[in-house]
Amino acid sequence: MLGVAKTADSAVDFLKDFGITETNLNDNVRLLAETNSRYLRDIKINVNNALQAVTLVKKEAYLIALAVAVNEKNPLLENVFSKNARAEGATDEELAEIISCTSLLNANNIYFRFRHFMKDDYYTNAQAGIKMSIMANPILGKELFELVSLVISAVNGCELCVTSHEKTLLANGTNKQRIHDAVRLGAVIRSLSVLV
């Protein structure tokens, strides 16, 4: 592949497992492969480890990965993780809710990050005025919806939302290892999105 050393070939080959063909590779990945970058091996290990976390079933892992791909506006990864989630039993309704949740969290993360930055009583006490009906009775179930919300909030850097979703998850019995694994998955998929 790409006429480079075997180490880079095998590291790039993992993208094929996700349905990313050589023709879909961008210049960033090509450059890393051509220079036999060790980072390609690292990203391969990171993605595989994060997607195989024992606290997340495959469908959940792929749905979380899809949320990050949607958040990062990466159509290639959106397609890959939608297909993988469907293969693990995700319904169109669940996929649609992942997209909706990600969109909602983008509004919330900006709004609540602003309130947190300002540290002003007026903004802190003002009504958000952001409709959030999908949070009331999510198709994904409350726990997975909160987990996705936490991951997207972490990716978007909203401290207030991250702490709020983590508190809700812990109060409802989610263990810290599952939270950690989900956020790590979000971080790793975000880094993959930068490459592809």
Residues annotated as catalytic are 158, 161
C-alpha 58/C-alpha 110 separation (Å) is 30
**Spatial distance between the Cα atoms of 44 and 51, rounded to a whole number of angstroms:** 11
CA distances from residue 30 to 8, 76, 106, 114, 194 in whole angstroms, order as listed: 10, 16, 31, 39, 13
CA distance 9 to 29: 11
- Rounded to whole angstroms, how far apart are CA atoms 41 and 11? 5
Q: Are 101 and 145 in contact (CB under 8 A)?
A: yes
